[in-house]
Structure 1
Amino acid sequence: MSTTAQATAMRPPAAINKLIFRRIMPLLIAAYVMAFLDRTNIGMAKDRLEIDLGISATAYGIGAGLFFLTYALSEVPSNLIMHKVGARFWIMRIMITWGLISAAMAFVQGEWSFYLLRMLLGIAEAGLFPGVMYFLTQWFTVQDRAKANGMFLLGVSIANIVGAPLGGLLLTMDGVGGLHGWQWMFIIEGLPACALAFVVWKFLPNRPTEAKFLTRAEAEDLEARIAAEEQAGAAAAGNSKLRHVLKDKQILLVVGVYFTHQIAVYALSFFLPSIIGTYGELNSIQIGLLTSVPWIFSAAGALLLPRLATNATRSRTIATCTMVGIVAGFTLGAVGGPVLGLLGFCLAAFNFFALQPILFTYPATRLSGAALAGGIAFVNTVGLFGGFLGPYVMGALEEATGNKLSGLWFIVGMCVIGALLTLRLKRGSEDPSKAAVGGH
């Protein structure tokens, strides 16, 4: 085939979609595996930090949550910078800085250095998740975007499936080279992000027209179809500028649901190992293995449910059902004891990443261009304050009551509110008068 013929050749959209999934998703998933591992591995170190450094449960909860305050405040600027400089360079920068700071957690001396490094880690990693959510809007149409988002969020599940047993194993290195096991955990889990950053730089194209695995005609057609969808959605919703996000009730609804969702996700991420530690005489490896079980279910949920959210009605129904599932799971975790409690956490985790990828399809049906980049970051920014509130309340209630499960009822109450909010969700081009019967 001639060069001209190759440039104008067009494969079916389904074949192009599969090719894009195969070429860019593994790299993005690997990046998020490391990101989530490095932000949540303190869950495995919680009890050791208390013993070795005297960091209380409340101080631990504050430090765990401070990550999200600086992360959230840096999100919108980070995403707007990525919109200008491109995903490839910006994701590489994010990964190098967070890898170095995560490894530096090994040198924490007490509460204040713990707080400082957690805040710096939040600044360093800010923009990765909303940046990738925005990046995926440049590669997938609305119909396929929830599936793509769900695949990316597999990184969270994989990080917890692998990270908890790995963290438990690394904790057994106590005394090697004069370091505590938790110090080795931070170093060994932090530095690989720096190496992966250069792989991202080499192999991740910024947009379809820069991808060597697509013909020029395929790339231009895909970009044109996505641009048309964004413009139609933004026009229907009346949103063309970033300031319009603050006036859009649907975007604010998404923020509210996501806020309650993040309270649940990070409460489980940071406190599940210590909760499981109350189930009996378990060593760090056994705790790590049991901690990974709910996250296997979360991976199943991320794979099975988001791909069903192909229109507005299905998206709303799945969003409501998953929030109800999270409520049921945490309730069972609070009252069920070791066996039923762990099953309850599995139920909650199954629904975590079935919901999140669906929520992030809504901004792209109501915004476009820089407003879309900033809008996605805004949703993540405000939502992530839940990542501060959940661990803080869990730690404070544990210290006040002496019961590691007491904070779970706060999670249940917040998620009930989130479930009620999902009932009002609508897509950008959805006719409100037809919301009960169908979507686009």
Structure 2
Amino acid sequence: MSTSPGAATMRPPAELNKVILRKLMPLLVAAYVMSFLDRTNIGIAKERLEIDLGISATAYGIGAGLFFITYALFEVPSNLIMHRVGARFWITRIMISWGLISAGMAFVQGEWSFYVMRLLLGAAEAGLYPGVMFYLTRWFTRPDRAKANGLFLLGVSFANIVGAPLGGLLLGMDGIGGWHGWQWMFVLEGLPACLLAVLVWKLLPDRPTDARFLNRAEAEALERRIAEEDAAGEAASGTRSMRLVWRDRQILLVVGVYLAHQIAVYALSYFLPSIIGGYGELSSVQIGLLTALPWVFAAIGAAVVPRFASSGRASRKLISATMIGIAAGFALGAASGAVFGLIGFCLAAFCFFALQSVLFTFPASRLSGATLAGGIAFVNTIGLFGGFIGPYVMGAVEGATGESSGGLWFVVGVVLVGAVLSFFLRYGADKPGSTEE
């Protein structure tokens, strides 16, 4: 292993964390930007798909959600494979396959081909998010994981900030080369993932001892500290296998909260452009710019809030507060007009990834090794069914009533249930005070 110049001694933990963040996070965030862009860009194309292909609002909601069926089914196997073969190889494989299939969305002909391509895209991308969540547990100790998770989740915000205006511009390519604008959008947003995969293969180290930017003493000490934390958490919780993960009460609570959270995230991701389009006579670019606004607040929340998750108790309070904030934001969006409705969606989005980055530190406080990899994937698997439920209910309600407010109120109710569940979360072991402080 190569060492950094002059790295004869170990750097302080705070400095080491900055180095790791600087070396790993830009690449991981860029990958997540592209993945979220490629799974949600159908939102900006919704109206054009209805006009050009005759895809109804209900069919659109089904297709948007079908992605998460295959994504969820392949999550646990994908993460277990990554644990065996390494993040560098597996993330590269994921990115190439999803990039090609996302570009292939340009060739859908109607509802059934739309459904098939969404199913294939979900299978191709399965494992990226839980894989990175597990990967980060190999690089950061418990006090630093929420911050690292939050920075990674900036990718979702950046994708929505850039994606909506970019999608609006690409729709303007309608007629060039005989293609519709949405066809150009799928191709020009899908193929770059394949190019970025080359950089992932060249630059992403599997573990600290493979990293050229750490010296051997630093890498070995970091891996040793993380292994000790894993062993302590596993011993305290008693959850040592996947069979026990599925019966661990705390993991199931995390699943319940995450499911409610994901219903809200994807309801907004897929239907916000059409909700804003209903505010008045707006162009595609104007809709794209207004759609990006809540995601600016999501980025702020992801960057600022997780640093306050300094203990188990603080983490639990942050999760409960942000769940309540999401419910309040959706309620304001459902009950108000354009200005206050958009403010409500900004409030909900501010809470989205502030919550998610903290929530995924809970499984890592109880599990280790392959069980941790599988456990994180299990949480994401069940939670991602929210990615089907949210768009499906929103599409069904809009198709039946011609309005989206009924679907928004459904989201409010689900998130409030998740907020109640969050009050029972406990960090680390089940015993009060064990790792809560």
Q: Following TM superposition, by how much is the alpha carbon of 1:116 offset from its aligned partner in structure 2, in angstroms?
A: 0.2
* Counterpart residue type for residue 389 of structure 1: I
Please give the per-residue CA displacement for 1:370-421, whole angstroms capped at 9, x wherever unaligned. Answer: 0000000000000000110000000000001111222101000000000001
Q: Does the alignment pair 1:91 with 2:88?
A: no
8 Å CA contact 1:7–1:217 kept in 2: the answer is no
Match of 1:26 in 2: 26
Cα distance, 1:312 vs structure 2: 0.4
User: Secondary structure, in 3 states, of the residue corresponding to 1:428?
Assistant: coil
Q: 2 CA distance for matches of 1:85 and 1:319?
A: 33
TM-superposed deviation, 1:188: 0.4
Number of residue equivalences:
435
| Secondary structure at 1:406 match in 2 | helix
Which residue of structure 2 aligns with residue 193 of structure 1?
193
CA distance in 1, matches of 2:99, 2:105: 10
CA contact (8 A) 1:17 1:140 kept: yes
One-letter amino acid of the structure 2 residue matched with residue 148 of structure 1:
A
- Whole-Å Cα distance in 2 between the matches of residues 122 and 396 of structure 1? 21
* 5+ residue gaps, structure 2: none
Name the residue aligned to 1:439. 436
Residues in 2 aligned to 1:8 and 1:169: alpha-carbon distance in whole angstroms:
51
**CA-CA distance at 1:9 after TM superposition:** 1.9
User: What's the counterpart of residue 50 of structure 2?
Assistant: 50
Q: 1:244 to 1:6 in 2, by over 3 A?
A: farther
Structure 2: distance between partners of 1:366 and 1:307: 21
Partner residue in 1 for 2:292: 292
Distance 1:332 1:7 in 2: 54
Which residue pairs with 1:130 in the alignment? 130
Which secondary structure does the structure 1 equivalent of 2:95 belong to?
helix
Whole-Å separation in 1 of the counterparts to 2:430 and 2:217: 31
Quick one: distance in 2 between partners of 1:430 and 1:314? 16
Match of 1:248 in 2: 248
> For residues 126-179 of structure 1, what are the alpha-carbon distances to aligned partners after superposition, in whole Å with 9 as ceiling and x for unaligned?
000000000000000000000000000000000000000000000011101000
- Structure 2 counterpart SS, 1:279: coil
For structure 1, the 5+ residue unaligned runs are: none
* TM-score, scaled relative to structure 1: 0.97
CA distance in 1, matches of 2:307, 2:175: 47
Q: Is the 8 A contact 2:313 2:427 kept in 1?
A: no
Q: Distance in 1 between matches of 2:47 and 2:33?
A: 23
Report which stretch shifted further, 8-17 or 394-403: 8-17
Write the distance in 2 (CA, Å) between the matches of 1:399 and 1:439. Answer: 46
- Which sits farther off after the overlay, 6-15 or 237-246? 6-15
Cα distance, 1:313 vs structure 2: 0.6
CA contact (8 A) 1:323 1:418 kept: yes
TM-score by length of 2: 0.98
- Measure the CA separation in 2 of the matches of 1:347 and 1:190: 30
Residue pair 2:428, 2:436 contacting (<8 A) in 1 also: no
Paired residues for 1:348-363 under 5 Å: 348-363=348-363
Q: How does 1:328-347 map to 2 (within 5 A)?
A: 328-347=328-347
Question: For 1:264, what is the secondary structure of its paired residue?
Answer: helix
- Give the corresponding residue for 2:377: 377
Distance 2:242 2:375 in 1: 7
Give the 3 Å change call, closer, same or farther, for CA 221–53 of structure 1 in structure 2.
same
Structure 1, residues 88-109: CA drift from partner, whole Å, max 9, x if none?
0000000000000000000010
Cα distance in 1 for residues equivalent to 2:189 and 2:4: 47
Which aligned runs of 4 or more in structure 1 are off by greater than 4 angstroms?
3-8
Taking the aligned partners of 1:41 and 1:206, their CA distance within structure 2 comes to 30
